[in-house]
């Protein structure tokens, strides 16, 4: 069986209307993500990176172009695409275990299988012993772990992460980055992580996508060839970080480069680098 989780974003555009005038949130975005790839997306605020994740999740279907996962066009949310939001979004009236179990409500599992999946994923994110805690009893990092467990509990082929570590302190953040990496390796799933932290993007990603705002589009894509486990302080990684940072800064300084051709909007090139393993 071919590995699942091959995601194709095919000329996706999206407009909002802001007080009558159309605002181009995404403009002809092309991207191909290989099964099992860890892709990170950085960009200035307003570049549409969160919107892109919402479109892939199927939460927002009013857009042009196609989002295709394993040959199927995305038209609605699916249990095969998990999403972890910027804030944990746990239901405060449910315990950790109940919150995670909510993800399985429509998974068609029996009670025993459901309970097993819930406790497995609580252990996976390192929340063992906190099954019966209520969200207000958790720290920010623990709540986000619970949210990640909920995102993973259906064993989705693709996990979308919308700046899930943005609100955490540096130490918790670094620890959860390693946890994410470990989970990604263990589950073998495709992960898309949106972040505003370039260091995080370079540390975690197989590729780093830099997006530019107004209109939201892909400005550059960087390969991160460094083998894992990676060393945060390695000079090679730091060099790449500086390159990504420079590309990111270029997206916000100066007039918007309207006619710019960028490599990732040429699908042929993207395909060349990342052939889906079929």
Partner 1 sequence: MRAAAIPAPAWPAMPPGVIAVLFPLGLLALWSVSARFGWFPPQILPSPTEVGTALLDLARNGDLARNSGISLLRVVEGFTAGSFLGLLLGIAMGLSPKTEDYVKPLFTAFAQVPTLGWIPFLMLLVGIGEPLKILVIAKAAFVPVTLNTLAGIRAVPSIYVEVGALFRFSRWQLLRKVVLPAAIPPIFTGLRYGLTHAWNALVAVELLASAEGLGYLLVWGRQMFWLDTMMGAMVIIGIVGFTFDRIMAVIESRLQRWRLA
Footprint of partner 1 (CB under 8 A): 57, 59, 76-79, 83, 85, 87, 89, 91-94, 102-103, 105-106, 134, 136-137, 154
**In the complex, minimum distance from the CB of residue 19 to partner 1, in angstroms, rounded to a whole number:** 21
Query: Smallest distance, Å, CB 145 to partner 1?
Result: 16
Angle at 98 between CA 52 and CA 120, to 5 degrees: 80
- Compare residues 151 and 213 and give the one whose CB is closer to partner 1: 151
Q: How many helices (H) and strands (E) does the chain have?
A: 8, 10
Q: Which is nearer to partner 1, 78 or 181 (CB)?
A: 78
Residue 153 vs 244, nearer CB to partner 1 = 153
| Calpha distance 216→154 (Å, rounded) | 31
Nearer to partner 1, 121 or 217 (CB): 121
Residues 6+ apart with CB under 8 A from 102: 91, 94, 150
The residue (of 79 and 237) whose beta carbon lies closer to partner 1 is 79
Measured distance CA(159)–CA(81) in Å, rounded: 6
For the CB of residue 154, give the shortest distance to partner 1 in the complex, in Å: 8
By C-beta, is 86 or 181 nearer to partner 1? Answer: 86
Q: Where are the alpha helices (DSSP H) in 103-189?
A: 111-124, 140-152, 170-187
Closer residue to partner 1, CB minimum distance, 54 or 173: 54
The CB-of-46 to partner 1 minimum distance in angstroms stands at 20
Q: What is the CA radius of gyration of the chain?
A: 19
Nearest-angstrom CA–CA distance, 71 and 69: 5
Question: Could you tell me the smallest distance in angstroms from the CB atom of residue 149 to partner 1?
Answer: 13
Q: For residues 27 and 32, what is the distance between their CA atoms, to the nearest angstrom? A: 16
Closest approach of Cβ 79 to partner 1, in Å? Answer: 7
The length of the chain, given as a count of residues: 278
Q: Please, which residues have CB within 8 angstroms of residue 226's CB and are 6 or more apart in sequence?
A: 234, 236, 237, 240
Sign of torsion over alpha carbons 71, 74, 80, 84:
positive
Q: How far is the CB of 106 from partner 1 (least distance, A)?
A: 5
């Amino acid at each position: 069986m071919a590995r699942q989780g091959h995601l194709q974003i095919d000329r996706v555009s999206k407009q909002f209307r802001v007080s009558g005038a159309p605002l181009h949130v995404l403009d002809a975005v092309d991207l191909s993500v290989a099964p099992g790839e860890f892709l990170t997306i950085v960009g200035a605020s307003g570049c549409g990176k969160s919107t892109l994740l919402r479109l892939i999740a199927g939460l927002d279907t009013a857009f042009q172009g196609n989002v295709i996962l394993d040959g199927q066009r995305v038209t609605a949310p699916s249990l095969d695409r998990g999403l972890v939001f910027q804030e944990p979004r746990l239901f405060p009236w449910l315990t950790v275990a109940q919150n995670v179990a909510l993800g399985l409500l429509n998974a068609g599992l029996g009670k025993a299988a459901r309970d097993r999946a819930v406790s497995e994923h609580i252990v996976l994110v390192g929340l063992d012993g906190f099954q019966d805690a209520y969200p207000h009893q958790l720290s920010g990092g623990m709540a986000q772990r619970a949210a990640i467990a909920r995102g993973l509990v259906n064993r989705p082929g693709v996990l979308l992460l919308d700046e899930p570590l943005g609100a955490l302190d540096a130490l918790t953040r670094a620890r959860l980055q390693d946890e994410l990496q470990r989970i990604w390796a263990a589950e073998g799933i495709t992960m898309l992580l949106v972040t505003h932290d370039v260091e995080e993007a370079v540390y975690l990603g197989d590729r780093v996508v830099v997006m530019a705002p107004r209109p939201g589009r892909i400005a550059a894509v960087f390969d991160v060839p460094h083998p894992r486990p990676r060393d945060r302080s390695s000079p090679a990684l730091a060099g790449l970080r500086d390159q990504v940072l420079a590309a990111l800064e270029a997206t916000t300084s100066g007039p918007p480069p309207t006619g710019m051709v960028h490599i990732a909007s040429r699908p042929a090139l993207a395909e060349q680098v990342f052939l889906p393993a079929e």
